[in-house]
Amino acid sequence: MIQNLKRYGTLMGFGFIVLFFWANLPETFMTARNWLNISQQVSMLAVIAFTMTIVMVMGDFDLSVGSMASLSGITAALLFAHGYPVAVGLLAGLAVGVVGGLFNGFLVSLVGILPFVATLGTLTMYSGIAFLVSDGKTIFGRDIPRDFSGIARSGLEIPALEITVPFLTILALGVLLLVWFLLEHTAFGRRLYAIGGNYEAARLAGVKVRRLRLIAFGLTGLGAALGGLMLASRVASANPTQGSGLMLDAIAAVFLGMTMSREGEPRVLATLVGVLILGLLDNGLTQMNVDSFVREILVGAIILAAVAISSLGKR
Amino acid sequence: MAFLSLQNVSKSYGAAKALDAVHLAIEPGEVHALMGENGAGKSTLIRILAGVTRPDSMEMMLDGARVRINGPQDAYDLGLRFVHQELNIVAHLSVAENIVLGRAYPRRFGVAVDWKALNRQALGALKRLKITHIDPARKMARLTTGDQMLVKIAALLLDDGAQAARLYVMDEPTATLTGDESQKLFDVIRELTASGASVLYVSHRMNEIMAICDRVTVLRDGRHMATRALSDTGREELIHLMTGRELETAYPPRLSPVQERVHLSCTNLSTAHIADIGFDLRAGEVLGIAGLANTGQSELLLALLGVDKPKSGRITFDGQTKRHNPAAAWRSKIAYIPRERRRDGLMLTRSIIDNITLPHLKKFTRAVGVQSARHERAHAAQLARDVALKSDSLRQPAYQLSGGNQQKVMLARAIGDAPDLLLLDEPTRGVDVGAKYDIYTLIRALSAKGTAVILTSSDLPELTGMCDRILVMRDGKQHAIIDTTGLSPADLLATFYD
């Protein structure tokens, strides 16, 4: 009984949340339209949380993803403002993510700074750079090309079902598939899990721990940048702080997911459940006109409850 | 006459009976050995005594009165003290602080710690064990493992007064100690028993049991096999009681002669920790590394694995030099089992399969980096059979296995790619008699196939029994290389000292 509660508590909580909103919002909640809407709302958080899972598999963290998301959005928007084509802005934004991520990896794996401290430092640095290059201003309106903001508005129409699947949702699903494949079905992913299982053992068993850690942080940086570009496209603007809320939510989503595995390991499919729980709460509570501060209290309490239940029976 | 007796102790985990109507009686002032293979129920019995595990049934008498143990505090109040195999020390605090840890520090003016009084208290506790070589003001981290163990025992003595200690339970206390350090521990045990306390002593080391214990209780598969006086019990009889089978010789013989081909060659090798190492190792040869504790045995293996980089000299494998890192080593068929398998070897929460295949993942990689889970499982299953691993399922996490089976997982990992050179750091430490023999047999089989083996051990009969030659180290330097033909453990020991 306790075993099942530990293992499936989070999933049961997810089911309960769905039923709760379904009962309270019978007209609007359980509709394809609303769920597609939710999927688009959570898509940036999802991308960042999925790629955050990659470093958390090794037992590491990346606190800089939020400011990295802002920085990549700003970078792209600045290039747009200077008349560069959309593709250049996108590539530059992603490149900034890779470089920033690799820099985190360099600090953590080669210099040997604790991930918490290293990425706390780069969080502040990346945020400062975003302010510096943008002069602290929001870039919006005519500076943002329609082709760019159109990305978030486009979608795949499925006439038979009379729905349009948002492009951002498809993008997030693509990232999910890639990360899932990488972590669960390649030697690369298995080695990351080995590092998380026992760093020293992995090193002595011939795993190139430093190189893998470097690459993993690079991928997390890339994911953060992609999330930032998606966000900038969706709101058709970029400012130096718009991504900052994403970091805590992404880590929370991975933690919620970790409560679902037997040994408490991050799994990217479980991270998806974590993302959905956060997204559903946001969507449902907003529809029920619940104050956003109350929402925050609820989200925090749910995370604590999930972690507490999953550690039941541990000494 | 026994002052403490346990009757009818039973404990089941699901269908498995860990203990089945076991009994145990301890006499005042005796050293009572508790023996049995891994999984025989020793640890369960000790956990029950410590109040950590609840038995299904137990009748316990102390001084003729019925008592119960419902938790660690009860065990403490009854005068039971526990010395665990793992040292729980606070490394950056002083010896004295480790001794008083958890109790009130002596104070001046009610606030400031009175360091002098603190050190005096600690010194008193150490003196009671006739230990004079440890300075209470030293940082715990700077002590040898053996001295740390003595400090932990001294800490147990600090507070006997009202509830004086009646029985010290020591679970493999010498597993991490050198011969010298063990001797100090045995002196302490004599001190304790002379003052009327008793000791329940768990160890796999037959020599120690014979040397310091008065009586022995043997468990097998959770059942009580015998309680005997050691003065009229032979080694063979003990092994027979523990395993239920005869072990004709403790060390299996060589299956084929050492090959002519030199596989590994070290010339004038020095790293940050070792110096002046030079030897040739031939295919199929078993080389032992011996010496007093911490004189560089483990560090020599780490140098060969490429963890510690050479400062001077060279290492060649089949005449070629290799890059110095563990990844390159495993790629060129050098396998390694660390001394601390739980700390440096195993991923405890991950499955047996994951633990076995870790260095060999490349083998199972198909197109575009996809792992073939089926091949991996089959490979791990074959290796698990080769090392006679006992487990419920290969998906079991490693922490659920006994020490002997954990070591077999490490062995399965090491032989996974048919290594040319096998580096074993204390391969039989904390491993029961039966599993030890399995490990020896495996070493012989590998050596017959041409694998060169280097093993360190603090078990001298194991070195003389298994190795062709032994490299003796002193202070990180190579002192001698000895042929083991006709070499007795005592001869070997003599080479450790000037």
Residue B34 distance to chain A (closest CA, Å): 27
With an 8 Å Cβ cutoff, are A198 and B371 in contact?
Answer: no
Q: What is the pLDDT of residue B14?
A: 67
User: Which of B496, B475, B404, B476 lies closest to B442, judged by CA?
Assistant: B404
CB–CB of A194/B350 below 8 Å? yes
Instruction: Please give the residue range of the domain that contains residue A58.
Output: 2-310
Range in A219-233, A291-305, B173-187, B192-206 with the lowest mean pLDDT: B173-187
Q: Which residue of B has its CA nearest to A181?
A: B370
Q: What is the pLDDT of residue B82?
A: 87
Best CATH choice for the domain B4-243 from the list 3.40.50.300, 3.90.380.10, 3.30.360.10, 2.60.40.3500: 3.40.50.300
With an 8 Å Cβ cutoff, are B348 and A208 in contact?
Answer: no
- Name which of A190, A263, A264 is nearest B361 (Cβ-Cβ): A190
User: Which of B319, B321, B286 lies closest to B306, judged by CA?
Assistant: B321
What 3 state SS string does chain A have?
CHHHHHHHHHHHHHHHHHHHHHHHCCCCCCCHHHHHHHHHHHHHHHHHHHHHHHHHCCCCCCCCHHHHHHHHHHHHHHHHHCCCCHHHHHHHHHHHHHHHHHHHHHHHHHHCCCHHHHHHHHHHHHHHHHHHHHCCCCEEHHHCCHHHHHHHHCEEEEHHHCEEEEHHHHHHHHHHHHHHHHHHHEHHHHHHHHHHHCHHHHHHCCCCHHHHHHHHHHHHHHHHHHHHHHHHHHHCEECCCCCCCHHHHHHHHHHHHHCCCCCCCCCHHHHHHHHHHHHHHHHHHHHCCCCHHHHHHHHHHHHHHHHHHHCCCCC
Q: What is the pLDDT of residue A315?
A: 41
Identify the three-state secondary structure at position B116. helix
With an 8 Å Cβ cutoff, are A185 and B331 in contact?
Answer: no
Q: What is the pLDDT of residue B310?
A: 92
User: Which of A79, B180, A191 lies closest to A87, judged by CA?
Assistant: A79
Structure tokens at B227: 């309680």
Structure tokens at A171: 């993008």
Complex-level ipTM? 0.87
| Average pLDDT score over residue span B231-246 | 79
CATH number at residue A140: 1.10.3470
List residues of chain B with CB under 8 Å from any CB of chain A.
305, 307, 325-331, 336, 338, 343-350, 354, 358-359, 361-362, 364-365, 369-371, 397, 413
Domain residue extents for chain B:
4-243, 247-333+418-498, 350-412
Q: Which residues of B touch A208 (CB under 8 A)?
A: 325, 327
CB–CB of B2/B32 below 8 Å? no
- Structural domains of chain A, count: 1
Name the pLDDT band for B159 (thresholds 50, 70, 90).
low
> Which is more confidently placed, A281 or B400?
A281
Share of chain B above pLDDT 90, in %: 45
Range in A171-180, B122-131, B443-452 with the lowest mean pLDDT: B122-131
Indicate whether A57 pLDDT > 90: yes
Q: Which residues of A touch B345 (CB under 8 A)?
A: 198, 201, 204-205
Residue B151, amino acid: V
> Which is more confidently placed, A310 or B217?
B217
Task: Record the pTM.
Answer: 0.79
* Average pLDDT value for chain B: 87
Distance CA A71, CA B2 (A): 76
Domain assignment present for residue A92? The answer is: yes
Give every CB contact of residue B453 below 8 A, 6+ residues apart in sequence.
Answer: B285, B286, B287, B421, B422, B424, B443, B446, B447
Domain assignment present for residue A315? The answer is: no
Residue A66 distance to chain B (closest CA, Å): 31
Give A163-201 pLDDT, tens digit per residue: 899 999 999 999 999 999 999 999 999 999 999 999 999
Straight-line distance from the first to the last Cα atom of chain B, in angstroms, rounded to the nearest whole number? 47
Distance CA A268, CA A258 (A): 9
Indicate whether B184 pLDDT > 50: yes
Distance CA B255, CA B166 (A): 51
Distance CA B441, CA B112 (A): 61
Residue B319 distance to chain A (closest CA, Å): 22
Asked if the C-beta of A295 comes within 8 angstroms of chain B's C-beta atoms, the answer is no
- Name which of A206, A263, A264 is nearest B326 (Cβ-Cβ): A206
- Name which of B327, B343, B354 is nearest A200 (Cβ-Cβ): B343
Domain assignment present for residue A65? The answer is: yes
Distance CA A138, CA A201 (A): 48
Indicate whether B151 pLDDT > 90: no
Q: What is the pLDDT of residue A18?
A: 94
| Average pLDDT score over residue span B358-381 | 88
| Average pLDDT score over residue span B390-408 | 87
Q: Which residues of A touch B339 (CB under 8 A)?
A: none
Angle between helices A167-185 and A187-197 (to 10 degrees): 70
- Name which of A187, A193, A201 is nearest B345 (Cβ-Cβ): A201
Residue B232 distance to chain A (closest CA, Å): 44
Share of chain B above pLDDT 70, in %: 96
Residue A187 distance to chain B (closest CA, Å): 6
Domain B247-333+418-498 has CATH 1.10.443.10: no
Q: What is the pLDDT of residue B79?
A: 87
Q: What is the pLDDT of residue B368?
A: 74
With an 8 Å Cβ cutoff, are A187 and B331 in contact?
Answer: no
Indicate whether B158 pLDDT > 90: no
Chain center to CA of B292: 16
Indicate whether A287 pLDDT > 60: yes
User: Maximum Cα–Cα distance for chain A, whole Å?
Assistant: 62
3-state percent breakdown (helix, strand, coil) of chain B, nearest 5 = 35, 25, 40
Give B311-333 pLDDT, tens digit per residue: 999 999 998 988 899 999 999 99
Residue B391, amino acid: S
User: In a mutagenesis test of the A interface, which of B53, B302, B358, B406 is the best target, namely the one with the most A β-carbons within 10 Å?
Assistant: B358
Name the pLDDT band for A313 (thresholds 50, 70, 90).
low
Can you tell me which residue has the tokens 């907003």?
A: A286
Asked if the C-beta of A187 comes within 8 angstroms of chain B's C-beta atoms, the answer is yes
Distance CA A58, CA A209 (A): 10
Indicate whether B338 pLDDT > 90: yes
